[in-house]
Amino acid sequence: MWRVRTRLSDNVGRGHHRNQVPVVGDLCDNVPQRRPRNDGFSLHLAPNACPNGILKFSKERPRMASILPNPAHEESYGRVWQFGECEFDELRYELRVRSTVVDLEGKPLEVLHQLLLNAGDTVRKDDLLESVWPGVLVVDASLATAVSKLRKVLGDEEIIKTVSKVGYRISVPVRRAISHPTLNGTSTNRKEAPSGTKPSRPEVLAIEATRRRGLFKRSLTRWIVACVLLAGVAIGLATFRRGLKANLIPGPVAILPFQNVSSNQSLDYLTSALPDEVANSLSAARSLIVRPLAASSRYSDPSLDLRKAARELNVNKLVTGHFVLAGDQLQLTMEAVDTNENRVLWHDTVNVPANNLLILQAQIAAMSRGKLAAALGVRDFTAESASTPANAEAYELYMKSLALDWDPAPNKQGIDLLRRAVSLDPSYAPAWGALSLRYYTGSRFAGGGPEMLRLSDTAAEREFALDPDSPDAVAELTLHRAERGELVKAHQQALELVRRRPDNANNHHVLSYVLRYGGSLDEAAHECDVVALLAARIVWGSCSTTFMEVGNYKRAMDFVRKDLSSEWSKAHAVEVLLRQGRTQEAIQIGPPQIAHWDSYKMLLACARHEPESQIRSLAAGVEIDDDPEVDYFFAGHLAYCGQTDAALRMLSLAIKRNYCSYPVIDQDPFFAKVRTSPQFSDVRALGIACHDNFVANREPVAKIMK
């Protein structure tokens, strides 16, 4: 019953923690110094620059213009940069467009400041990132978002030019004036800077030591340095060997939502569709664990702290990206980031026609299975052959469906999009797979019934026929078999899925699902533990049911959405909280808004101690569901409300449809009131027989698969 949609579907390094080079006053201990000049190559100090001869050295590379010394006549004043119809005042740190101060965040203003300081030149992306986000691991999307905000307030897209794969530059003439505060501090006086003056460039300092050391002291120093170097080499070799061994197996990776840095909101669906395409391309990589997109979908803020996201997702590598519409071209940039080492592993940008997403799909697949996979440590792929789309319109419809939620209304919209997609391109397997999931959701949670479930079967079978090596279609059909009571066959298929891809979290989820239906709860819980290890931070609602039936309610709540943002998570929470005795919390949640699940209205009415006549009236409206697990829950609701005969009839029906319900019925607190009934022992015997039959018939299969 409880399901989670989990389909998985040239190096440019960048250092982000470099500090500015110190001025001479930092190099000389406690000696005030004037700022030095920089010839870009070596450092020179005037004689006796450090009277005490004590020097401090820094090998850090200077940041960009944010650390530049001001010319002498500007040290006490700010500069006002005039370009087009705009002015940027350094002193006030404000931007005026057509004489009106605009409201803009700090980072876009810092980007503008750097571009103005280098007016006429192209500023590299790496330099902008180092200067504006010093010491912070960020990706190109943050910079692209800042530039996009700048262009929006400037009112002219052409003022800031993008130089493809390099950086940005100011494309209009720039004048510079000097401003200083008046005595009252409320206005500025300006004077033009000398004609032809450009901002000073960063200067690298070199130091000439004037004191000579004794021969013995110098020899001793050299000997110590040599020893340190030898020790460093030995440690480095040991570290390299350990790292080489560790790198043979790639660590888990998460793919974050891509950023739409253009102002065209019609492309927002690509923020989730493009990561899905990357995940599909990487799904056949051996030993690579890709966190399901449902786990990383909430990390969409462009100013996101990547280290924090990686920690929460329990990964050390992230894939990020952003895209922008430029004329008739769609530009896509992707990066792989190692958050442990604070570096970019891989970076690439492609431009494709905006009206042809098939070319985009081919580019993503090539990038993902090529240099991206190599950067993530992937050595080879399984023999699975990925299905490729053949119709651009159909592929766009498919991608738009990926951005839709699973609640009834958006799910129906998704079905409509996918039906059009498969009619235009009946050979694209992922579209059939997505349609199967949508049909299933409509069947179980939107009142679609058996007819829509049959449509889900047909779509999954079509996906399997088109792509027999993909596990997705087999996984979906296995779940359908379990819900129809074909437990032994479902268990055999689930074991085969795990044998083929033991690193696939959904395969273990499917096996857990089948085991729970057969009553093998401890084994089902073990598989859920494996699922949690392989796919941290994703809400596997099915595993919430498993741990609830085991009696581990705290663990069950770990698999419920904390914000109860779906109707299914509300139903989960009500079930668990009432079994814990946390009645008021369950009442506050209220019944889930799912078609034909009025049983929850009765359950919560009982929790509120409504009149018996009202309870009986609600009990009469409890419907039999197509899924026997739902019937088990409804039986528990009836038992909780004291409707013993109706509860035992519903429970018996669930067991006869092979939801074995044993041994859970011996410990489920909802059935406490009916366990003393004479009829309960008969129903319990049915449950024991169901469980024993499942175990006896599936055990040989399990031995074959080991």
Supply the DSSP string of 254-277, one letter for each residue: EEPPPEE-SS-GGGTTHHHHHHHH
- Rounded distance between C-alpha atoms, residue 659 and residue 515, angstroms: 10
Task: Please write the tens of the pLDDT for every residue from 102-148.
Answer: 988 888 899 999 999 888 889 988 888 888 887 666 667 778 888 88
- Rounded distance between C-alpha atoms, residue 42 and residue 40, angstroms: 6
What's the pLDDT at 498? Answer: 92
Do 358 and 261 lie in a common domain? yes
Do 522 and 668 lie in a common domain? yes
What does DSSP assign to residue 78?
A: E
Do 77 and 181 lie in a common domain? yes
pLDDT band at residue 614 under the 50/70/90 scheme: very high
Do 276 and 363 lie in a common domain? yes
Composition of the chain by helix, strand, coil, percent to 5: 50, 10, 40
Rg (CA), the chain: 33
What's the pLDDT at 64? Answer: 39
Residue 641 lies in a domain: yes
**Of the candidates 359, 386, 413, which is a domain's last residue?**
386
Q: Which of 69-73, 165-169, 279-283 has the lowest mean pLDDT?
A: 69-73
pLDDT band at residue 299 under the 50/70/90 scheme: confident
Q: In the predicted model, is pLDDT for residue 396 greater than 90?
A: yes
pLDDT band at residue 206 under the 50/70/90 scheme: very low
What's the pLDDT at 53? Answer: 36
CA dihedral sign of residues 667, 669, 671, 677: positive
Residue 307 lies in a domain: yes
Please name which of 86, 84, 79, 85 lies closest in space to residue 108, comparing C-alpha atoms: 86
What's the pLDDT at 196? Answer: 39
What does DSSP assign to residue 55?
A: B
Residue 412 lies in a domain: no
Task: Please write the tens of the pLDDT for every residue from 461-504.
Answer: 999 999 887 788 899 999 999 999 999 999 999 999 998 888 78
pLDDT band at residue 75 under the 50/70/90 scheme: very low
What's the pLDDT at 252? Answer: 83
What's the pLDDT at 677? Answer: 94
Between 575 and 310, name the one with better pLDDT: 575
Q: Percentage of the chain surpassing pLDDT 90?
A: 43
Token representation of residue 638? 């009836």
Name the most confidently modeled range: 9-18, 91-100, 207-216, 637-646. Answer: 637-646
3-state secondary structure 215-241: HHHHHHHHHHHHHHHHHHHHHHHHHHH
- Rounded distance between C-alpha atoms, residue 556 and residue 552, angstroms: 6
**Average pLDDT in the 266-272 region?**
90
**Average pLDDT in the 25-33 region?**
37
Name the most confidently modeled range: 34-38, 457-461, 529-533. Answer: 457-461
**Of the candidates 368, 386, 404, which is a domain's last residue?**
386
- Rounded distance between C-alpha atoms, residue 7 and residue 283, angstroms: 9
Give the domain CATH number at 70: 1.10.10.10
What's the pLDDT at 165? Answer: 76
Helix crossing, 612-620 with 599-607: angle to 10°? 160
pLDDT band at residue 536 under the 50/70/90 scheme: low
CA angle at 435 for the pair 275 and 253, rounded to the nearest 5°: 25
**Average pLDDT in the 300-305 region?**
82
**23 contacts 10 by C-beta, under 8 angstroms:** no
Do 521 and 658 lie in a common domain? yes
Domain count of the fold of the chain: 3
CA distances to 244, 589, 674 from 10, in Å: 21, 52, 68
Residue 226 lies in a domain: no
Token representation of residue 555? 């663990």
Enclosing H/E stretch for 455: helix 449-466
Q: In the predicted model, is pLDDT for residue 202 greater than 50?
A: no
pLDDT band at residue 425 under the 50/70/90 scheme: very high
Do 185 and 269 lie in a common domain? no
**Average pLDDT in the 311-337 region?**
90
Mean pLDDT of the chain: 79
Q: In the predicted model, is pLDDT for residue 612 greater than 60?
A: yes
**Of the candidates 323, 353, 386, which is a domain's last residue?**
386
Q: In the predicted model, is pLDDT for residue 458 greater than 70?
A: yes
Residue 468 lies in a domain: no
What's the pLDDT at 486? Answer: 95
Do 627 and 519 lie in a common domain? yes
Q: In the predicted model, is pLDDT for residue 354 greater than 60?
A: yes
What's the pLDDT at 45? Answer: 35
**200 contacts 113 by C-beta, under 8 angstroms:** no
Is the pTM higher than 0.95? no
What's the pLDDT at 79? Answer: 78
What's the pLDDT at 417? Answer: 97
What's the pLDDT at 68? Answer: 37
Do 174 and 319 lie in a common domain? no
Between 432 and 298, name the one with better pLDDT: 432
What's the pLDDT at 538? Answer: 64
**Average pLDDT in the 642-664 region?**
96
Q: Which of 4-13, 211-220, 673-682 has the lowest mean pLDDT?
A: 4-13
293 Cβ contact partners less than 8 Å away, ≥ 6 residues apart: 8, 9, 255, 272, 275, 276, 279
Do 546 and 691 lie in a common domain? yes
| Long-range Cβ pairs for the range 265-274 (8 Å, 24+) | 267/323, 267/325, 267/330, 268/403, 269/399, 269/400, 269/402, 269/403, 270/323, 270/399, 271/300, 271/403, 272/297, 272/402, 272/403, 273/399, 273/400, 273/402, 273/403, 274/321, 274/323, 274/332, 274/364
- Rounded distance between C-alpha atoms, residue 182 and residue 555, angstroms: 66
Side chain identity, residue 258:
F
Residue 156 lies in a domain: yes
The domain of 604 spans 507-700
What's the pLDDT at 565? Answer: 77
Side chain identity, residue 23:
V
**43 contacts 3 by C-beta, under 8 angstroms:** no
Residue 28 lies in a domain: no
Q: Percentage of the chain surpassing pLDDT 70?
A: 75
Do 549 and 661 lie in a common domain? yes
Q: In the predicted model, is pLDDT for residue 557 greater than 80?
A: yes
Give the domain CATH number at 378: 3.40.50.10070
Residue 127 lies in a domain: yes
Do 520 and 667 lie in a common domain? yes
